[in-house]
Structure 1
């Protein structure tokens, strides 16, 4: 027996469930309608679609690559368990394989490795890959390599709009610069045309160089003013120094020690000095003695 009010509760729950089902169905229908898939004619080349669309390739477009990849692993030990034709038919029956998306830019690429990975994943567990797990892995890797070598897509976003250049599109047009043209006429300098006459001729307004410092005639200081006659030049030895000596306490006469000075006598340059006269007399005496000895030896 249904307690009092039970029918009302049951009706309420039924209506709530139906409403939830309808809302959920509408939500999923909207999600399915917003998603789009762009099917490429082949696994190589270019494909156009809206930004965010899923890109898919037909399994039949990679059929021959699958067949060749499986044949590469057929040998004496695997010829009975690896079936290239069966694997090719299997991938062709998979229909459309999602391999990537159209990026949110002018274009992009879907590499052959990505397509090969999708194909290898679609063939996992298929008949004809071999019995041993090691054999199946080698066959799938060989198929993936063949597909990667032969496939590769360039995606083109058909609804991409390049950012507007400055002054074009909805980016806003900057205000044209207004300046004073030659002749005092105010106008738009962007409309200047070479070779035209008048205030808007093909020349730019004169530049203002007033802010550049320049020398003014008649203001130069004469050397006599900068260096007075009774003044001293920097480094003059006769000028008074700062202090009576240097840091060691030595005076100017000690500090200047070591300077070379001439020691020549005050006599005339053509005078014969006493040392020279004595040298000449000694040389004459020695020469006379040698001559005398030579003569005596010859005479004897």
Structure 2
């Protein structure tokens, strides 16, 4: 049988292409699996640690007790309206325990939170249309809403990034205009003043600016002898006025500090006034009555 060079070349090209496609596809799938890491939390409260960008998942068994309790409470409230409502709390718990819930991701920072609303939404999606929620569509909706509300109010996670490194700032603080003459570095440190305020480093503080502080101008100060003269009179002010001087010739704005006068009495200091006389008479009368009463009691 004669050989066909064209067919041989075509078969070789197809074999190489298939091998390259297989290697490329395997590498692509392998890289996708490695980047899609999942961190599984043990419970719906507390904290979970993982690498930045990891998917945070939650086992359904961690919230099955909350779902069962909420479904049982809703079943009891529906018994008086729909005696045969088909709600099965145990079936709800078992269906939820068989699932893994994706509730969020680890942020690209030191930490973050996954609130109860996100966990409740994942539970809601996992139980959509489940037969254990009830027979009618309205019953299923009421039971599912009760479960979602219970999980939302009782769950919440704190995410911690294990490989997070805080960014470092390379900028130096601006120096003031008055600190141009001060050295910016010292022994054992590099950078601007105070070595970028890094704890444990040494540096020099910039020179302070005292330009805004008011100062006395030469030639305008008043000597102490003029400000406080011996006679008590300041330059440009009137002399102090005493009580013995005549104030009638002074203007209305210049007068003594006070014009107090003593009030004259109508009698002497030894005169007995009417109130004192009435008090003596009343006292004598009371004394006479007491003596009379005492004498009568002694006689009897």
1:36 equivalent in structure 2:
37
Match of 2:151 among 134, 147, 154: 147
Give the superposed CA RMSD.
4.0
Matched, 1:87 2:92: yes
Change (3 A) 1:53 1:5: same
Matched, 1:104 2:87: no
Cα deviation for residue 172 of structure 1 reads 7.3
Output the CA distance in 2 between the equivalents of 1:109 and 1:149: 15
1:51 equivalent in structure 2:
52
Q: Secondary structure at the residue paired with 2:93? A: helix
Cα deviation for residue 48 of structure 1 reads 1.3
Change (3 A) 1:70 1:204: closer
Unaligned segments of structure 2, at least 5 residues: 188-192, 196-203, 221-300
The C-alpha deviation readout for 1:63-116, integer Å capped at 9, x for no partner, is 11111222233133264521110110111111x321000111121111111101
TM-score for both structures, normalised by structure 2: 0.54
1:233 equivalent in structure 2:
none
1:130 equivalent in structure 2:
134
Output the CA distance in 1 between the equivalents of 2:26 and 2:119: 33
TM-score for both structures, normalised by structure 1: 0.54
Matched, 1:23 2:32: no
Larger radius of gyration: 1
Output the CA distance in 2 between the equivalents of 1:106 and 1:172: 22
Whether contact under 8 Å (2:194, 2:205) holds in the other structure is no
Match of 1:159 among 163, 168, 189: 163
Cα deviation for residue 145 of structure 1 reads 0.9
The C-alpha deviation readout for 1:152-181, integer Å capped at 9, x for no partner, is 1111112222233x6xxxx37889989569
Output the CA distance in 2 between the equivalents of 1:205 and 1:160: 39
Change (3 A) 1:78 1:30: farther
The aligned runs of 1:1-300 (5 Å cut-off) are 5-6=6-7, 8-74=9-75, 75-76=78-79, 77=82, 79=84, 81-94=86-99, 96-164=100-168, 171=170, 217=219
Output the CA distance in 2 between the equivalents of 1:20 and 1:203: 66
Cα deviation for residue 128 of structure 1 reads 1.0
Output the CA distance in 1 between the equivalents of 2:97 and 2:68: 11
Unaligned segments of structure 1, at least 5 residues: 192-201, 219-300
Output the CA distance in 2 between the equivalents of 1:46 and 1:215: 68
- Number of aligned residue pairs: 197
